[in-house]
Structure 1
Amino acid sequence: MSDTSILVIEDEEKIARVLELELGYEGYTVSKAHSGYDALELYRSQTWDLILLDIMLPEMSGIELLRRIRKNDTHTPILLLTAKGSTEDKVTGLDLGANDYITKPFEIEELLARIRAALRQVQTNQVEAEDEWLSFENLKLNQTTREVYRGERFIELTPREFDLLVYFLNHKRQVLTRDQILDQVWGFDYVGDTNVVDVYVRYLRKKIDAEQDHDLIHTVRGVGYVLKDAYETKK
């Protein structure tokens, strides 16, 4: 358990110190931050297994800090420390992607139980995610975590680009017409020009085929597009 790192973000130094001692006693590695901006800097300095986040912080609120973290990190479990009766903050925090909350004052045993539950859930999600990979050549995509890699390079996609790539990977080596793509990715009730497919395929190509010695997404003139490898393209 000593490899499990927890970031405690709490402006009340006495509470932060108690949490540091109790969590350290349980075998966790703990770091502390007492303000929103310090917390953001510390968060960005390394990977954390779990974050304890107080909502009431100087400089930047816990809610705003949560919003910023969740823009690019949907995986790290975050437990909110909330004041008694702050229902709106709890709801907002959960809507923004917090995993759980605990109301001050709290019993340390309850907090430890919630931390263990959150860490177990992460392990469960990781096991489930292992079976959610789609791949082709050196391109791979995880449908659960929404991670995309070509080789070792991480690729950030918009939701529509991600859905488009999933469709290509589920129909690799098949020539797909613009109408097929439009129906499956945009939906049968989409009203608009099929040129939107060309636009998004172009976006996707720039990200998927950038810095590579060969392309994977190819145009079939007069028909549509196909995901296939370089050897198949040369034949």
Structure 2
Amino acid sequence: MLPASRHPRIDTYENRRIAGYAGQRKTILVVDDEPANRALIIDHLTPLGFNVLEAHSAEFALQITRDFTIDLYLLDVFMPVTDGWKLADELRRRYPDTPIFMVSGNTYEERHDSHCPIPHNAYLIKPIQLDSLLAKIGNALRLKWLHQDRITPQQVSTMVATGDNIPSNEDVKDLVAMARIGYLTGILEKLGSLEVSGIDSGFLHELKTKADLCDFEGLIQQVQAINNGTR
């Protein structure tokens, strides 16, 4: 694996969340043959100020690199025709200084050719943990993160009292039911529909973060605070 950056790790605070970063906007290319996998990363990184491009294949990814300057690559290992490792080798040859992150469902790194130099900077396991991804991106790109206070259950109750746009009791029941059985896809689809309906973006971001981390108990506590605020 290429040498890791010595830039300090990002600060993490229990009551704060990353809201963006200082400096020039960075472009990240996500290469994965599964649209849902690409969408998940795009949904999390775009609100933080990243310009996220996507490609469904290695061949299309190489076309994109001709038209855009990419600051970091996120490559799925298992793709048809040309897999992520072969793409990583080619990208490393063309762009030797650009960070490359490999993404796989395997808990161990399985190279297509163990005799080739390792081309990547990081290896991420699916499902990707957002906090870990951001920490690695921050280190690789030497970012200075900007933070905002997290929304607490107590603040949710206040939002209810002041009439802010929050999910209905029926939506709360749906989210709680899906969280109790760990139905991640259903939760993300529900949050997507709530976003379209104009629900408070900060509140939804908190729920999406908890869902991405598979923190279903935390998600339940957050949405149940809505009912507490209406009692």
- TM-score category (smaller protein): 0.3 to 0.5
Query: Normalising by structure 1, what TM-score?
Result: 0.47
In terms of fraction of residues, the more strand-rich structure is: 1
Report the TM-score, using the length of structure 2 for normalisation: 0.48
